[in-house]
Each structure stands twice: as structure tokens, then as C-alpha cells.
Amino acid sequence: MDRFDTNGLRGLVKADRVHRDFYINPEVFELEMERIFGRIWLFVGHTSQVPNAGDYITTTIARQPVILSRDRDRKIHVVFNRCTHRGAQVCLEQSGNTQRFECPYHAWVFNTDGKFVGAPYPKGYEEGFLEKEKLDLVKIPRMEIYRGFIFGSLSNDGPDIDEFLGPMKKHIDAFVDRAPDGEVEACAGVFRYRYNGNWKLQMENQTDVYHIMFTHVSTTDDDGKQFRREGAEEDEAGKVKVLNNSQTLSDQWEKLPLGGHRHGHVYMGRFAMDKKNQGPVYDRYRLAMEKAYGADAEKNMTVETHNSIFYPHWSIQHLTQHIRVMNPISVDCTENIIIPLKLKGAPEEMWHASLRSNNNSHSPSGMVMSDDMEVWVRCHEGLKTQSTDWVVLARGMNEKFGDTNQGTYESGGTSESGARNQQLAWVDFMCNKD
């Protein structure tokens, strides 16, 4: 009997615990690439990463190299980064602008929409071969754009993007509607780094409020002062002062609402802010918002959510204003791409404050991220021991909350409900193959 047949996979996830193979088994990882990452909607990039005709970025989806480009008619394309001659990746630059992609091996040339243009020495081919063969770079099976966020699916089947995102579309709306111009812009490049641990360790961590006051003690204790060091206090707007020295587990963190939806999407409510945004920069922001949105300005300016985690591999961090993409490389290696986003039309000072905050918290050496990566690597290594097979995720099971993975639920701040909701979606995708 196959150990990881449907019953075997189901057996890895119990109501309050998961088997360590869920994180460390290479066979399970390969099945995830096929049944989760190979089928559902993944984040590819943002339209503002390719603002001009001829702009492109290279990235991977489900480990497969792709090119995201804007053609000369300004249309967006996502094609596999694979020459249709003998398979070489046609482009290795992380980003750039070009008229055409020229393969480095035998110089076959493709337009920025992926169309085959020509090959050197065409006389070497039978008459008409280069015209009649389908030699264009191959498009990914499905691509959709929602408010500038570009999604790709490696399967022609499966839920459409509206069904898949469901109520999470509102989380994208809430973020974009904070911009007076109604658009966000990725115009500061990206951070890209890896850690030696399974992708789910990070996905589950993103609504894990239980760890914050311990893993990030250098930030949260009275001597930590991490967010004070960033200089954000001097700015009158856009600060990301999320932590307050007087916060304690019982009176603050437990109150933070956690929630989730079908398909494994989860979110964390807003941290208590110790000071209301105010001052001349914020006043300018308010004016711009009132001009753009009228009576809705106040609502649009209010940040209700700390982060929104879209299953299986990306999130919006609302306060620090970035997208975090988590690309699995192997069972024990994950690539992070951090994409800071500017609120178009808001004062520049706000953008600079959010960039400083991102540098301090989510760059490779950022104080928050380096703490987290340390514990994810330790988890992955610890799970290789034969001590016990089970990982306990029972916190918050004593609370009443809704029917996870079937609809909306909310739970208390330090519950492990987010991880459990993602794990129920994992079982659905892994075990219901159609």
C-alpha cells in the first residue's frame, strides 16, 4: 500500500496535531507541488513591477521559471521561461526592459508577448518549418489580474479566481483603497532571501500571535525598543509603531482578532496602536483621501487588518505595506520575496517611513524576520528527530469558533486556529484530486 495514498495523507492531519511528515517528507512535498501549487491560484507579481512596454521580471511559480512581461501594446503576459528550441531559460535577469528575448544558446528570438520571431540560419530547416511549427514561448494555462495583483494557475481546471479568493478580495480592496489614487505601486525593488525550512512553517507563523512576545523579545520587552530605533516616531504619518511597551499577553495579544475563510485563507486583526496618526503629513494624507473618496475617506484610511494570508503562499502586510511571497524551493528550503508597495497619491514621507519599517523588520537582516527564520530552521531540524511524530496545534481548541474551511470564522488572538484552517485546506487539496 502506498504510504501517501489518500488515507495516508489524511492521517497526517488530526484535529489538534499534525504528523512531522507533513513538514519534512520529500514525497509529501512533491505531492504538494502537484496537487496544491500545481492547481490553484498563485501570486506571480504586480502590474507596477512592469510599468512600461518591454518591462519584465523573472520569477518562479511552483518551482517553474516564468517571465512576467508587458508587451509593446502594454498587455501583460506570463510565459514559461523555457526556449521552445532545446529548453534553455531565455532570460536570467531578475528585471529589465527589452525589445525582445534572445535565447543565449542558439539565439532564437521571441517578442515580449512570447511570440516566436525567428531563428538564425533559417535555411537549415525544411521549407516552412519555422512558420508552421508552434514555436512561441508557452503561456501559463491561466492568468488573471485583480486591482494590479497578477495571479497564475498551472492548471486549466479548478475554481476561478473570484471563487478562490472569495472574501479575501476585500482584503486587497482595503489595502488598495488606502491610496488616494486608488492604486498601489511596487517601485522600490524587492528583498529576496531563503531559509532552510519548510514553506508551511512560515505560512502558519503569520497568524501565530502566541510567538510574538517570546521569539521577538528584543522587540517587545521594555529594553527592546526596536521600533523606536527606526526613527518612525519622528514622522507624523505612516508609522508602523505596532508595539507598545505596556502590552502584555493577557490584556493585548489575546484581544487581537484572528479569522479565516475557505481554501485556507487567514488573517490577523490590527495591533493596538499606541498613538493615533496625526500631524502635518497625516493632514495632507487626509486631505488627499477626502478629495478622492469624500465621505468614504475615513473608512478607507482605517487599517483594520495587520496581515492577510492568501493560501498557499503569499500575504499582504497592511501596516508595513508589503507583499510577502513564499516560494517553496524544496521540502527544506523556501524563498521569500518581499515587495514594498507605495500608496499612490499619499505623501512621500509616508512611503519613506514604510520603507524604513520594511528595512528594519522584513529585510534579510531585519530584526523581526531574522528571529522568525531562526525558529523555522530550528523547527525543521527538530522535526527530523525520532523523539515523537506529532506537532501539537491545540491552542484555542477550547474556544468556540465557526466551521473552519467552510466559511468565515473568528477566534482569539493567540489561538492556533490559523494553522488549523490552513491544514484543513491542505487536506482538501491533497485528498480531493478533482
The three grid cell numbers given for residue 90, joined into one nine-digit string: 531565455
Name which of 26, 41, 31 is nearest 10 in CA terms.
31
204 binds Fe ion (CB under 5 A): no
Cell 531574522 -> residue: 370
Cell 497526517 -> residue: 12
103 binds ligand FES (CB under 6 A): yes
Q: Which is nearer to ligand FES, 107 or 394 (CB)?
A: 107
Helix (H) or strand (E) holding 83: none
At 217 the three-state DSSP class reads helix
| Residue with nearest beta carbon to Fe ion | 372
Q: Amino acid identity of 105?
A: Y
108 binds ligand FES (CB under 6 A): yes
Q: Which is nearer to ligand FES, 85 or 115 (CB)?
A: 85
Q: Which is nearer to ligand FES, 57 or 103 (CB)?
A: 103
85 binds ligand FES (CB under 6 A): yes
Give dist(CA 260, CA 411) in Å, integer: 9
Give the range of 62-70, 79-87, 121-129, 176-184 binding ligand FES by CB under 6 A. Answer: 79-87
Residues 350-389 that bind Fe ion (CB under 5 A): 372
Q: Which is nearer to Fe ion, 71 or 371 (CB)?
A: 371
Chain centroid to CA 431: how far? 24
Which residue in 9, 44, 83, 258 binds ligand FES (CB under 6 A)? 83
110 binds ligand FES (CB under 6 A): no
Q: Which is nearer to ligand FES, 56 or 310 (CB)?
A: 56
- Mention every residue, 6+ apart, whose C-beta is less than 8 A from residue 28: 4, 9, 12, 21, 22, 331
143, 78 contact by CB (below 8 A): yes
Tell me the per-residue interface mask from 18 to 57 with ligand FES, x by CB under 6 A, - otherwise: ----------------------------------------
* DSSP 8-state symbol, 262: G
Total of chain residues touching ligand FES, rule CB under 6 A: 9
The three grid cell numbers given for residue 148, joined into one nine-digit string: 494590479
Angle, alpha carbons 119-125-130 (nearest 5°): 55
Which residue in 63, 106, 228, 291 binds ligand FES (CB under 6 A)? 106
Contact positions vs Fe ion (CB under 5 A): 372
Contact positions vs ligand FES (CB under 6 A): 83, 85-88, 103, 105-106, 108
